[in-house]
Amino acid sequence: MSEQKPSLFKKTWQRDPSITPNKTWYYFPTSIVLLLIVWQTISWFVASDLFPSPIAVAQTIIQKSLYGDLVKDVLITLARVAAAFFFAMAIGCFIGVLLGLKKRSDLFFDSWLIIALNLPALVIIVLCYIWFGLTEVAAITAVAINKIPLVAVIMREGTRALNPELSEMAQLYKFSNTRTLRDLISPQLAPYAAASARTGLALIWKIVLVVELLGRPNGIGFQIQLNFQLFDITAILAYAFAFLIVIQFIEAFIIKPWERHANRWRAD
């Protein structure tokens, strides 16, 4: 009998039982501290206003929070992100589940979805501003339209992956439609919805900045455009990182817990 050779590719994706949250909590702060050290070191070597240090950026954040409109602009941008995120998730999930369940509809509208995925975000933003004017409705609509196709694709794949045996079990035990949706379908689709939310949050807030830069009189994107005209790189980074901190907070305390909750039934 020939000796079995070790696999070339180990199953690194499998969970290591020795790795627990209590043992890995320091990974994130350690990596952030290392990033700040590298950033500060490079700024010392460059010694130019074109590459401000993290200390200078932090001081600008504090100054504009206390004496400027940074907090107000962050809240305005966050409201636009929340509105676009809600509409994109609701419409995208509906379209994705519908296409996943209806084979003919999926075949017919698949080309539409591909076109929507590849249509440049800037084109959609400009068209919405031309059609609806420089309004909040146009801004939120443009952001949502850019996000909907991605959500639809992820949810379509999730619907295709539904376990048919569970559907047969529901029919055998005569589950009601409500119970089938709550106990069988929703848990299977929840990880895909969480993945859509996670990727969507990262995409939406970037598009919102472009929308604000092009056609809104307030928000982080507007402030970045204003400081770009003044060549104030420190202020640009201050506004960007201020909102990035908020996004990281949402990611850590809302999106990640939801994702863990959605995948709890997959745990061994």
Burial class of residue 42 in the structure, from the number of CB atoms within 10 Å of its CB (0-12 exposed, 13-18 middle, 19+ buried): exposed
217 or 101, higher pLDDT: 217
Residue 2 within any structural domain of the chain: no
- Residue 75 pLDDT: 95
Tell me the CATH number at 208.
1.10.3720.10
Indicate the Cα dihedral angle 168, 172, 175, 180, nearest 10°. -10
Quote the pTM value: 0.83
Question: Which uninterrupted H or E stretch holds 54?
Answer: helix 54-67
What is the number of domains present in the chain?
1
Cα(4)–Cα(54) distance, rounded to whole angstroms?
Answer: 53
Q: Which domain holds residue 139?
A: 67-266
Residue 98 within any structural domain of the chain: yes
Cβ-proximal residues to 163 (8 Å cutoff; 6+ apart), any chain: 188
The answer to whether residue 176 scores a pLDDT higher than 90 is no
Per residue in 24-50, pLDDT tens?
677 778 888 999 999 999 999 988 888
Residue 46 within any structural domain of the chain: no
The answer to whether residue 60 scores a pLDDT higher than 50 is yes
